[in-house]
Amino acid sequence: MAAASSRISSPRLLLAAHCALLLALAGPAHGYAPSGGVALSSAFYDESCPSAYDVVRRVIQDARVSDPRIPASLIRLHFHDCFVNGCDGSLLLDDDLPAIQSEKHVPANDKSARGFEVVDDIKSALEEACPGIVSCADILALAAEISVELAGGPRWRVLLGRRDGMTTNIASANNLPSPFDPLNKLQEKFRNFNLDDTDLVALQGAHTFGKVQCQFTQENCAAGQPEDTLENLDRVTPNVFDNKYYGNLLHGAAQLPSDQVMLSDAVAEATTAPIVHRFAANQQDFFRNFATSMVKMGNIGPLTGTDGEIRKNCRRTNSKGY
Ligand code: HEM
């Protein structure tokens, strides 16, 4: 026992185990390993911008006073960023034709993705505190964790060190998961990034807060209601990050068809349904898995090392000025 624990506490072995874990988290299928060969690290800004976390938190706190929905909107931006070209801030780029066609106009984002002005405010505050240091892709990762924590959800150590991409990917953005995808399609879209059924069920648990337009809901809009009428994604505790969302699924009362399929689809019983039951019964179990899955999602294909750049303005590449 003593020999085993002294072996485990050897610094080299600890480092090796740490690297192996990071690589396991960082190496999704289809070539989505980090470019630049540098693993993300929670200590990345400890020297260069020690106030990064506090700055991001303060701006989000201020923003949610006038817009309580902003935490939900920000975590969704991180998801839509990571699933397209990896977590490289590509979602944040505005049109700059013909070179850059913004991902903001694809159906999954158009008149739907929001919070971009708050990201601008965070970037401005960080440029004041530590110019040219914190990437826009890392802002989204930090904002996601802070948003969950502010709404009562779990905390986790955000891995950092992503750099910003110089391109967008419209084809991939057009392939973001749809609320009308059957379960096997959703599973495939997650598996493409090495995210398994537990990750799928845990990450959809983010629908515990935020809003949905009635055009996307299971019931669709009531007669005469405009299709962009907003409803709560979680009808029980709409602003709290908790496990009530899974209880809604058990009652057939999920808002999105893509939520309910995790229980109702033909392939659900052998795959996602037992996980939904687990998370409905045990919030701590959900919280633990959600945090792990967020770290995995945040590791999708980051640019690191000298790849990409640290944008001065999240809406434009540096070559375009700011
Ligand atoms: C299975 C894949 C998913 C699908 C099909 C999906 C679909 C949607 C749709 C259709 C909306 C409503 C958009 C609107 O009405 O404008 C929405 C909202 C939201 N989604 Fe997802 N989603 C998925 C996964 C995720 C993941 C992985 C996260 C985060 C980890 C997430 C977080 C959110 C949040 C927080 C909102 C509310 C945003 C707000 O109020 O601004 N979703 N999602």
Note the pLDDT tens digit of each residue in 40-63: 999 999 999 999 999 999 999 999
* Active site annotation includes 80: yes
Tell how many helices (H) and how many strands (E) occur in the chain.
Answer: 13, 2
Q: Residue 320: what pLDDT?
A: 79
Does residue 164 form part of some domain?
yes
Mean pLDDT for 58-80 is: 98
Looking from the CA of residue 112, the nearest atom of ligand 1 is 16
> Where does the pLDDT of residue 135 fall: very low under 50, low under 70, confident under 90, or very high at 90 and above?
very high
Q: Is the CB of 207 under 6 A from ligand 1?
A: yes
**Pick the catalytic residue: 30, 80, 207, 277?**
80
Enter the tokens of residue 198. Answer: 């537990």
Does the CB atom of residue 72 touch ligand 1 within 6 A? yes
Ligand 1 contacts CB of residue 213 (under 6 A): yes
Q: Whose CA is nearest to atom 10 of ligand 1?
A: 179
Distance between CA 191 and CA 39 in Å, rounded?
21
Please give the pLDDT value at position 32.
56
Question: In angstroms, what is the span from residue 76 Cα to ligand 1's centroid?
Answer: 6
Task: Assign 128 a pLDDT band (cuts: 50, 70, 90).
Answer: very high
Instruction: Pick the closest to residue 147 from 79, 231, 201, 94 (CA basis).
Output: 79
Are 311 and 169 part of one and the same domain? yes
Helix 183-191 vs helix 257-264: crossing angle, to nearest 10: 100
Nearest to 198, CA basis, from 299, 271, 301: 271
Average pLDDT over residues 203-231: 96
Claim to verify: residue 279 and residue 216 sit in the same structural domain: yes
Question: What does the pLDDT read at residue 43?
Answer: 97
What is the 223 CA–ligand 1 centroid distance (Å)? Answer: 24
Domain that holds residue 212: 183-297
The CATH number given to whatever domain includes residue 227 is 1.10.420.10
DSSP string, 21-45: HHHHHH--TTT-SPBTT---BTTTT
| The total number of structural domains that make up the chain | 2
> How far is Cα 303 from Cα 90, in angstroms, rounded to an integer?
11
**Is pLDDT of 124 > 70?**
yes
Share of the chain above pLDDT 70, in %: 89
Instruction: Give residue 278's pLDDT.
Output: 98
Where b means 16+ CB within 10 Å and e means fewer, 108-123 reads: bbeebbbbbebbbebb
pLDDT value at position 13? 35
Is residue 311 domain-shared with residue 292, that is, in the same domain? no
239 lines ligand 1 (CB under 6 A): no
- If one compares 223 and 22, the residue with the highest pLDDT of the two is 223
- State the CATH number of the domain containing residue 97: 1.10.520.10
- Which one has a higher pLDDT value, 314 or 33? 314
175 lines ligand 1 (CB under 6 A): no
Spatial CA neighbour of 79 closest among 187, 266, 204: 204
The finding on whether 211 has its CB within 6 A of some atom of ligand 1 is yes
Indicate which residue's Cα is closest to atom 38 of ligand 1. 73
Q: Give residue 160's pLDDT.
A: 98
Please, are residues 315 and 120 in contact by the beta-carbon 8 Å criterion? yes
Whether 26 has a pLDDT exceeding 90, the answer reads no
Residue of 67, 70, 74, 79 with the most ligand 1 atoms within 8 Å of its CB, for mutation? 79
Q: Is the per-residue pLDDT at 28 higher than 80? A: no
64 and 170, same domain (yes or no): yes
- Quote the CA–CA distance of 283 and 57 in Å, as a whole number: 24
Whether 60 and 170 share a structural domain: yes
60 with 122, same domain? yes
